Chains A and B, each alone.
Chain A
């Protein structure tokens, strides 16, 4: 090893204030699209969001019902494990607190599942307390399909792979079950401020 390409620094030039950007991240103005599969085109008239409890009880909203829930507007920083961070992104969505309000559960974990088969796991405590949304607007416009539209999970305090695109629902569980990337060696929790990129970090 130890060959160095003369003059190569990588893309990571933009230094931002250390309290804004987690270790190892660089700031981008783009919104890179990361996909593990084809972009599903989901019509809002076919869209559903379903909560499945540990007792297998299901709670489902269609698009109209979902839109009638209280909306929240948030401005947050997002951090992708591929090392870009994007500051002050503006979203509109429904808080998971709202969605979980009527649900009787003692589950401690959740597995988000999406169209196309993607999954990601989160502690339920990270989805409640004003920390997570099902977001359908980005920068004032409907979320585009390549960014997860009609709606994606938004959990900005964890690496962005946790913010599942094209989210279809949440399965609440007593035991933690690793999602797609987590099962291949990405960190089970994924706190960007602790640089929890990979299992063992």
Chain B
């Protein structure tokens, strides 16, 4: 990936993830649907200054999640996430 000074870490959208999943998520693992890299969600690459937040795989840059603040509320799109762990929770 290219060096730039714009992005943040997955921690920065920890609040949104917590609202979405009802629990702390930044220490949970997620697997990129494109390259298979496994990383804690807190270690993903996040762009928040666009018209919405874009969460990318730190290995290949694929879009994992997009969140857009619409007048009606937040719209979250789960793009290229093969899986997310919810540790200690039964299916």
Contact = CB atoms under 8 A, between A and B. Distances in A.
Contact of A185 (B1, B4, B54, B70): B70
Contacts, number: 57
B75 A38 contact: no
A70 B45 CA distance: 40
Contact of B4 (A39, A82, A117, A181): A39
A37 B47 contact: yes
Given A32-B49, A35-B50, A37-B47, A146 B4 contact: yes
B66 interface: yes
A81 interface: yes
A185 B75 contact: yes
Contacts of B75: 184-185
9 closest residue pairs by CB, A with B = A36-B50, A38-B2, A39-B4, A36-B54, A184-B68, A35-B6, A34-B50, A185-B70, A38-B1
28 contacts: A33-B6, A34-B50, A34-B51, A35-B4, A35-B7, A35-B47, A35-B50, A36-B47, A37-B54, A37-B61, A38-B1, A38-B2, A38-B6, A38-B7, A38-B45, A40-B2, A41-B2, A81-B51, A161-B51, A181-B50, A181-B52, A181-B68, A184-B68, A184-B75, A184-B77, A185-B70, A185-B75, A186-B51
Interface of A: 32-41, 81-82, 116-117, 146, 161, 181, 184-186, 198
